[in-house]
Amino acid sequence: MKSGSDIRILIVDDVSENIQVAMNILKEDSYTFSFATDGQEALNLIVSGGFDLILLDIMMPKLNGFDVCRRLKKIEHAKHTPVIFLTAKADADSIAEGFEAGGVDYITKPFHANELLSRVKTHIELSQSRTFLQKYADEVETKAKLQAQRLADEIEKNQCEMIYILMEVMESTSDETGQHIKRVAEMSRLLASYVPSLSESDINSVFLASPMHDIGKIAIPKEILHKPGKLTEEEMTVMKTHAEKGYELLKNSKRRLSTAASIIAKEHHEKWDGTGYPLGLKGEEIHIYGRIVALADVFDALTHKRQYKNAWTIDDAITYIKDNSGKHFDPALVDILIDHLPEFLDIMKQ
């Protein structure tokens, strides 16, 4: 804490003799002084520099002490500076107005040396203690926020590790390779980055949660999942249950990534025109995460070989995407894909 000459006191009084009396008394504690003989001069000094305490006369021409105090309380660096009013008026109304204006104390004229020294010292110590406690509280709050963020980061890191483990499970249970899952994640992130309404947190959630889009397939019988030819109508009905099954696996978690993954798992087969599954959602009823992954998943699936199909050319895939804009896919997302196609093709090379 500051002491002696490091402590700056501003004395404001339109009678210079009163200023000199106060300075003569207070110099005993080696304070550093500034002074002003009117309210505006005082405000100019306060604006240009900081003080540890202000002794402020009430009865001054033009701008009285109450008005000066009210104005300085609007100055950011001065609003917490303690103000002690100097007054020859000790009536209840004046004292009440002084406290209402923001003063912390009042001293009646003529000054009594011990009273002035004691009150000035008390309020300087109180102000410094308040500043110290505020600084300590700010440090504690900052530390708590950092600890909370570290914990959140650790939780998210653990979630990511679990997602990657599940990706490996997916590779072993379906014909969708790890590269497909990674490409869908990268394309989903790229699509999300061009959606104005999505935050950085949303973009990150889509990227990290999209690998879980087909996690429900672990509950689909292998003879259906790995069938090389076209599925029968009955088999397709079973296959379609993977969306709901994936949601059921993830829905109970309240963590950000797991929640995002549950949405994606459930809604990435919904279609813009309402003909998708499992709920037949339409348009913006489908969560933006589901719409993004739906487009990324289909585009990658079309352009890469599967057990049941050969890879399509990029031109054929783009034609299909355009033809199904407003039917299967969100038209705004299709526009993003077309407008930024070279960036998506770079991902396709992975």
Residue 62, φ and ψ in degrees, nearest 5: 70, -70
Long-range contacts of 237-240 (CB under 8 A, 24+ apart): 240/269, 240/277, 240/278
- Rg of the chain over Cα atoms, rounded to whole angstroms, equals 36
Contacts of 213 (CB under 8 A, 6+ apart): 184, 246, 261, 264, 265, 268, 293, 297
Beta bridge partners of 149: none
CA–CA dist 189, 210 (Å, integer): 9
CA–CA dist 289, 328 (Å, integer): 15
Active-site hit among 74, 135, 217, 266: 217
Strands 32-36 and 105-108: unpaired
The yes-or-no answer on residue 271 being catalytic is no
Distances (CA, A) of 39 to 6, 60, 84, 258: 24, 7, 15, 62
Strands (E), 25-66: 32-36, 53-57
By the 10 Å C-beta count (0-12 exposed, 13-18 middle, 19+ buried), 110 is classed as: exposed
Maximum alpha-carbon separation in the chain: 105
Question: Which residues carry out catalysis?
Answer: 217
